[in-house]
Amino acid sequence: MLNKTRLIFVLFVGLMAIVSIGCSDSGGDGDADASGEGSITIKFAHEEGQGDVQDLYVNKFKDLIEEETDGRITVDVYTAGTLGGNDDMFTQLQTGAIDFAISSPGFTGDVIPETQVMAIPFLFSDNLEVNKKVLDESEALYGTLADKYKEKGITPFKFWLEGFMYWTANQPIKTPEDMDGLKMRGMPTPLIMESYKQFGADPQGIDSGEIYTMLQTGGIDGQENPLFYIYSSKFYEVQDYLIDSKHHIYTTATLANSDFLNSLDEADQELIRDTIQEVNDWSFSMQKEEQEKAMKGVKESDINIIELTEEQRAAFKELSMPVRETYIEEGGEDAEEILKTIEKEIEEAEKEVGE
């Protein structure tokens, strides 16, 4: 039986252990004190595989923030599938199970209908410099649309692009008639599904992790994705044609759980925002390099590459125009404001970049 002195000592050691665990706990539960001296661990998830564009982005952020803070802020990176599907990841960001995420608006349309503006075909410019400028500075995105995210407990840092989207299929696609009846996979959001209906296809909203197998087994006939992802996922092994359609750009967003972000002191919040802006600026040249690598690799495969002419693209664009009305009908006045503002911003950016 413990004597009184030893009992006091044991209780003291146990209490100190509990205090120590509480002080080192990560996740933004007050572990960083007012001076920013506490350690912070950011749980940062994304939608893509190791070495893909989003993974390079998150690891660049990890390297910069850990170096800047001498390891006081650390980042745990979770790649695609680690925490479940894309819908699971977005839910975990809302609930605070993860702190930061890269989540494409194409996967959030059921939760935040206004984000589907990013999925409207032929909305953005054929000039990626124009699109970069709009995504970096847009009043629509960082005003009205950002407020929609915040209503769901999420704070958007930046919207950014990962290059043009391409189609792959087991038959050539040059006209809308070629799309007729094809089981085409797109991101599982209502507006993208509607877009493929307008093109005459049979849209399939399966998760990205199932695409290769579904292509291989004939469960789907084709799909859309940015070029680097088509290459890294080896879709060229199970598809005969790669179509350079430029029907829209792949956009995504760097997001934070609002409660977690607000639990950090102002200095750390500012540092994180500045670091993300730095990574965002770097990501444009990075994704361009990844696209070039992917094109080189794809050309070495047996896949046939088709580049649509302006006339061919115009036929698809004309069919897609009702999708804009569908977006407004589903999102209401705020959606209409977002769309009209972005259309104006793209037009102005094209003039400015072209000067």
pLDDT digits (tens, 9 = 90+) for 308-351: 999 999 999 999 999 999 999 988 899 999 999 999 999 999 99
Can you tell me the distance from the alpha carbon of 337 to that of 355, in angstroms, rounded to the nearest whole number?
Answer: 27
Q: Which pTM does this prediction carry?
A: 0.85
The residue-averaged pLDDT of 273-296 equals 96
Q: Which whole-number Å values give the CA distances from 102 to 15, 43, 83, 86, 346, in the listed order?
A: 39, 12, 13, 10, 24
Is 7 a domain residue? no
**Residue 79 pLDDT greater than 80, yes or no:** yes
Is 13 a domain residue? no
- The CATH number of residue 149's host domain is 3.40.190.170
Is 277 a domain residue? yes
Can you tell me the distance from the alpha carbon of 114 to that of 148, in angstroms, rounded to the nearest whole number?
Answer: 8
pLDDT at 188: 83
Per DSSP, helices labelled H in 233-309 are: 258-263, 266-299
Instruction: Give pLDDT tens digits for 290-304.
Output: 999 999 999 999 999
Is 255 a domain residue? yes
Is 5 a domain residue? no
Domain count, the chain: 1
Range of lowest pLDDT (54-58, 114-118, 188-192, 245-249): 188-192
Residue with more model confidence, 34 or 182: 182
247, 179 Cβ separation under 8 angstroms: no
Assign 274 a pLDDT band (cuts: 50, 70, 90).
very high
Please give the structure tokens belonging to residue 158: 């930046």
Show the domain range for 65. Answer: 39-354
Residue with tokens 């094109």: 295
Task: List 348's β-bridge partners, or say none.
Answer: none
Question: What letter would DSSP give residue 84?
Answer: B
Give percent of the chain with pLDDT exceeding 90. Answer: 81
Is 193 a domain residue? yes
Is 15 a domain residue? no
pLDDT at 54: 96
Can you tell me the distance from the alpha carbon of 40 to that of 37, in angstroms, rounded to the nearest whole number?
Answer: 9
Strands 154-169 and 249-257, how do they pair? antiparallel
Can you tell me the distance from the alpha carbon of 212 to that of 186, in angstroms, rounded to the nearest whole number?
Answer: 13
- For the chain, state the CA radius of gyration: 23
Please give the structure tokens belonging to residue 47: 């939608």
Please give the structure tokens belonging to residue 120: 């409207």
Is 19 a domain residue? no
3-state secondary structure of 122: coil
